[in-house]
Amino acid sequence: MEILEKIAYCVEFGKINQASPYPPNMKGEDGADEYVKKAIDDGIDPDTILQEGLIVGMGIVGVKFRENKVFVPQVLMSAKAMTAGMAHLRPFFTSGEVKRKGKFIIGTVEGDLHDIGKNLVGMMLEGNGYEVIDLGTDVKSKQFIDALEANPGSLVGLSALLTTTMRNMEKIVAEIKDFKSDQKVFIGGAPVSQEYCDKINADFYAPDPQGVIERANMLMGA
């Protein structure tokens, strides 16, 4: 198996590093941490490591999650493996040697403190080459708008888990659109639907992280 395939495999199955006991059948073997470092040491282009290693692995996980073939704990392990590999690539992002696909601002809307879904989307976006600006939970319109002013050209994602707080999405979407009429706004969360997306004039709804990534890639031409 080539080293890029090994990196993708480690991300797919959540093998973080040699010390990681998960998955059991890879106990004692190198993980994403060691393989990404070795790939850099071997002179493989950092952008190639990202595109053909980490992103491939995270893409497989995204599709499996959509198809209910893996569940949240496995996705979190994959995200941890991806993060371990990304740590070696961060200096190349800073230097500009590796280009991000774009920036994505995410947050759970005002009044809502749930963050598992948001965090999953954020981790998978980062694993697919985006710079993620995570505003956290209980995020008000002004915080989204301030982040957009500081990061022009970004996409925005709003999350809500409660029917009571998804109402705040409508207000936040309206105020973001007042700030920038052509701003692309994604929404998601358990009570959210395509019908609600259309009703509040948001641009895109996805029931799973992979849908967010696919549409973001289309918008960014990635």
CA distances 75 to 24, 59, 72, 105, 219, Å, are: 16, 11, 5, 21, 25
Considering only CA atoms, give the Rg of the chain: 18
Handedness of CA 187, 192, 198, 200 (dihedral sign): negative
Fold of 100-222: Rossmann fold (3.40.50)
Closest C-alpha to 114, from 137, 140, 139, 133: 137
- Look at residue 98 in the predicted model and tell me its pLDDT: 83
Distance CA 135, CA 146 (A): 11
Q: 1-97 in CATH: which number?
A: 1.10.1240.10
Query: 205 near 215, Cβ under 8 Å?
Result: no
CA distances 97 to 36, 48, 93, Å, are: 16, 11, 6
Residue with tokens 């709804």: 205
What is the amino acid identity at position 71?
F
Question: Is-above-0.85 flag for pTM?
Answer: yes
| 135: helix, strand or coil | coil
pLDDT tens, position by position, for the chain (222 residues)? 699 999 999 999 999 999 999 999 999 999 999 999 999 999 999 999 999 999 999 999 999 999 999 998 999 999 999 999 999 998 998 888 888 899 999 999 999 999 988 999 998 999 889 999 999 999 999 999 999 999 999 999 999 999 999 999 999 999 999 999 999 999 999 899 999 999 999 999 999 999 999 999 999 986
Q: Taking the domains of the chain in order of start, what are their residue ranges?
A: 1-97, 100-222
- Look at residue 41 in the predicted model and tell me its pLDDT: 97
| 131: helix, strand or coil | strand
Q: Any alpha helices (H) in the chain, and if so which ranges?
A: 3-13, 32-41, 46-49, 55-66, 72-95, 116-127, 141-150, 163-179, 194-199, 209-220
